[in-house]
A = this chain, B = another copy of it.
Amino acid sequence: MQIWRIDVHHQRLTRQPSPAGWETLGGRGLTARILLDEVKPTCDPWGVNNKLIFAPGLLTGHMLSSCDRLSVGGKSPLTGGVKESNAGGTTALAVSSLGIQALILESGPVSNQWWVLVVHKDGAYFEPADDLVGLGVYASAERLIARYGKDAAISVLGPGGEMRLAAAGILNLDKDHNPTRINARGGLGAVLGSKGLKAIVWDGRGGVKPDIANPQAFRAAQKAFTQALLNHPQTAVYRDFGTAGLTMMVNQFGALPTRSFSEGRFEAAESLSGEQMRHELLERGGEADPSHICMPGCAVRCSNVFADRQGKRIVAPLDFETIALMGSNLGIGDLDQVAHLNWEVNDLGLDSIDTGAALGVAAEAGYMRFGDPDRAMELLDEIRRGTPLGRTLGHGAAVTATVLGVRRAPVVKGQAMSAYDPRAIKGTGVTYATSPQGADHTAGLTVRAKVNHLDPQGQAELSRKSQINMAGYDTLGVCSFASFGFAAAPETIPALLNSRYGWQTGPEILQELGRATLCLEREFNRLAGFTSVDDRLPEWMTTQPLPPHGAVFDVTEEDLDGVFNWT
């Protein structure tokens, strides 16, 4: 595996072997290592000194179920700190097959022209993207697929990334060529935009699967893992209901963001539930599919194709985070309406979490009524038109709150919270507060732990464990839901790594990778000027009670500051 560097200024590719200290890393851990080694933590995230890194996980490349995720890393325009955002879809497999351990975009463009970077087995080249400028993600992807073929993987920006908005992500194709698997969080789409790239085409033709040191042992471990995953009861839940299966559970906990995080239960939660979605999709037929997959070989099938009453696809997938942030959080209790908003935010190339949170803030400021999807759509159109209001919204909830004068911004380190109000699921609140990534449920969700989520005691420990595991999984390229399988058969993690790479790692490798990754990320943030002050939820969440439980966030500052004391 090689490190590929693209100097976007000179449009030049350099390939090198993996330097010492990088060989045993992948995914999130590798992006953190490269950032700390090569990017000045105080640099302008939009500037020539930031880098954007594409790195498949350590287990990526062999269609292990749900282990082919792509990490993208850079200094975040949204948080000003370290950022890794990973996505499913087909990109990571293509990158691996080209023998690329990490592709690093460096420097800044010469002019305002937009380019497509084409990466193939023998190198890379730039092509003008003039015909794609201003196009949405769907139209852009369609043209790119027409031009470069159905076998290419694609990472593409929408207008949000072109405008370098801080909530812009990078969209990747799923296995059916829907450009909806997004490196969503932290504004990495703005970084790709600042490098002058509208898209990267990963032409995997002629690529090969990465070497396996001991194929027999690998296959045995793969089989054990897949079996454990398929046997896990959650796998069936995700297959049937997708992530939307969480709606009623989180609503029951009183933690479903409702009307801009002012309540924890939504009166129309049932109509946003996974049960309701499955029922509707089965009834609607046509393109509707309640258990779709995003990456080849996935056994979980948590994705879906959400179709309208005529069976025509609206969006794929419709996920819980979007349902909460653009549904209950906006007072909208209709899945079709949320699906249409989701298509729009995808087409803009924006993170639905930060954008949904921004719309909630705008609603609180009087720019829309809660429960008005038409007005929400108009506000998304403001983003598309690049108006001052639209640009404000497109920079996410924190900037929107600043500009519009709203004090209740649901953000940490400038990044919006996702679909779990931290006052009622306090372990996830600890993760929001302390994760080097800013508020992010994927950095350490605790909602499934069998604890009293309202009790502040013990939540820091719970979050720590979850953050370490997730940083480990993100380094492996493993989807959250594959973790059910690994949790049931933890011995398969070292077995897979050792058989693939010829390593001798032990049973703690997941946690070792996780801890190492978090240390690198925290060091980057420290050098960027972050202190314990940044590891806090917003002040208002510690004083304003959340109905129905009347909970405030009351995990102590000592507990928060102890999350990373793991010696």
Contact = CB atoms under 8 A, between A and B. Distances in A.
Nearest to A527: B533
A536 B42 contact: yes
A391 B393 CA distance: 13
Which of A404, A407, A538: most chain B CB closer than 10 A?
A407
A373 B209 CA distance: 63
Interface residues of A, number: 35
Contacts of A528: 533
Contact of A388 (B42, B392, B540): B392
A538 B43 CA distance: 9
Contacts of A49: 539
A533 B403 contact: no
Given A387-B388, A388-B389, A389-B388, A42 B539 contact: yes
A563 B42 CA distance: 20
Interface in A416-471: none
A128 interface: no
A407 B533 contact: no
Contacts of A389: 388-389
Contacts of A534: 529
Contacts of A164: 405
B531 A407 contact: no
Interface in A45-100: 46-47, 49
Copies in the complex: 2
A399 interface: yes
Nearest to A48: B543
A74 to B, nearest CB: 16
A44 interface: yes
A186 to B, nearest CB: 15
Interface in A497-541: 527-534, 536, 538-540
Contacts of A41: 533
A434 to B, nearest CB: 14
A44 B407 contact: yes
A395 interface: yes
A14 interface: no
A402 interface: yes
Contacts of A540: 44, 47
A528 B539 CA distance: 13
A501 to B, nearest CB: 38
A289 B238 CA distance: 78
A250 interface: no
A46 B403 contact: no
A533 B532 CA distance: 15
Contact of A392 (B43, B403, B530, B539): B403
Given A44-B540, A47-B539, A533-B529, A163 B405 contact: yes
Nearest to A536: B42
Contacts of A529: 530-534
A63 B402 CA distance: 41
A538 to B, nearest CB: 8
A294 B407 CA distance: 37
Contacts of A391: 403-405
A196 to B, nearest CB: 14
A47 B542 CA distance: 13
Contacts of A405: 46, 163-165, 391
Interface string A406-420: 010000000000000
11 contacts: A42-B533, A42-B539, A44-B407, A44-B540, A46-B407, A47-B407, A165-B405, A388-B389, A388-B404, A527-B533, A529-B531
Interface of A: 41-44, 46-47, 49, 163-166, 387-389, 391-392, 395, 399, 402-405, 407, 527-534, 536, 538-540
What 8 A-B pairs have minimum CB-CB distances, sorted nearest first? Answer: A529-B533, A388-B389, A388-B388, A529-B531, A44-B539, A391-B403, A392-B403, A42-B533
Given A49-B539, A388-B392, A391-B404, 14 more contacts: A42-B536, A42-B539, A43-B539, A44-B540, A46-B405, A46-B407, A47-B407, A163-B405, A164-B405, A387-B388, A391-B405, A395-B402, A403-B403, A531-B531
